[in-house]
Amino acid sequence: MMVDKLILEMKKSENIVILPHIQADGDGLGASLALGLALKKMSKKVKILLEEPISFTYEFLPGKELTQLYSQGIESEFEKYDLAIALDTGDIERLGKRAPIFEKSKVTINIDHHNTNSEFACFNYVQAGLSSVGEMMYSLLDIMELNIDKDIATCLYTSIISDTGGFRYSNTKPDTHRIAAELIDKGVDVAEISRRVFETNSLEKIKLMAHAINSLQLYEDGKIAIISIGEQTMKDEGATEDDCNGMVNIGRDIQGVEVAIMLRECDDNSVKVNLRSNGYLDVSAIANQFSGGGHKKASGCIVKGSLEEVKIKLVDSIKKALMD
């Protein structure tokens, strides 16, 4: 079984590097920290290598001392590593500048739940039906009979609530709640984690939301909602990439909307696209048409062109998909 192979590889290895996807979210980061803390208990030498600094949203997570920020030229530091583990990463591009470190590692493992996963590692453990890598990680640590302490539980709980929107999305299954219950038994502070993850925004984000709401456009009798944020607006408000997180939900939360799109202009004549589906449309298939990926109800891609050009392309492709 794949799980047994992964466990064997982890047990065999001494130096292990863990890599969540770029702009690590609650799931990628939470699962990485949980695995890092667990491997540490097994006396492994562990580094969690991040592309960007940890967002203030997740600063409360335990295990930060295991993280290191990628910087140019650090590749040689990782030459002696015998195992690289990518978490919550659908394809190798999602590792950004750290992809060569992953690829040069002697053994590579990919643990993920994206249905578009390209199985880019030596060992690929992909469970597309599961809510989060956090949920997968809980089961993995359980099989390894590792003691899940309060710190590890806090990381895993954060993973799960992040990707299920606090148990509100259809990926929330009976087992998701069973695992959450086990984690709460370990002493997780539910109210505090929920407040940090869902109810604490930067002032810049709130100001950005005002722009996003003003930019709202509806197409196809209100089935498609688009919000867009220009590069200049980001600069004017002093907003960061982080502040754009979840902004797509503004459109998704409107009655009658099937697909919500959030467009974020980047300074290299490209547009970062977030897609959310409220119902039957598989937005990972739409993202795939533009070399992106994700889940059926949440996906993303980066498209070359101006905001206007990208908007036309996407609306066109979604219109076609809605007609099928």
Positions touching Mn ion (CB under 5 A) are: 27, 88, 163
We find the least distance from the C-beta atom of residue 26 to Mn ion, in angstroms, to be 8
When the beta carbons of 65 and 119 are compared against Mn ion, the nearer one is 119
When the beta carbons of 118 and 317 are compared against Mn ion, the nearer one is 118
When the beta carbons of 163 and 258 are compared against Mn ion, the nearer one is 163
We find the least distance from the C-beta atom of residue 18 to Mn ion, in angstroms, to be 15
Contacts of 88 (CB under 8 A, 6+ apart): 20, 21, 24, 25, 27, 28, 31, 111, 112, 113, 114, 132, 133
We find the least distance from the C-beta atom of residue 134 to Mn ion, in angstroms, to be 8
Q: Specify the length of the chain in residues.
A: 324
Other C-beta atoms within 10 Å of 82: how many?
15
When the beta carbons of 20 and 311 are compared against Mn ion, the nearer one is 20
**How far apart are alpha carbons 126 and 2 in whole angstroms?**
10
When the beta carbons of 130 and 225 are compared against Mn ion, the nearer one is 130
State the burial class of residue 323 (Cβ atoms within 10 Å of its Cβ: 0-12, 13-18, 19+). exposed
- Ranked by CB distance to Mn ion, the top (closest) residue is 27
Q: Which two tokens stand for residue 89?
A: 């990463």
Let me know: does 14 contact 46? Beta carbons within 8 Å: no
We find the least distance from the C-beta atom of residue 132 to Mn ion, in angstroms, to be 5
We find the least distance from the C-beta atom of residue 88 to Mn ion, in angstroms, to be 4
Let me know: does 225 contact 252? Beta carbons within 8 Å: yes
3-state helix, strand, coil in the chain (%, to 5): 45, 20, 35
We find the least distance from the C-beta atom of residue 15 to Mn ion, in angstroms, to be 26
When the beta carbons of 133 and 212 are compared against Mn ion, the nearer one is 133
Q: Is 225 helix (H, G, I), strand (E, B) or coil?
A: strand
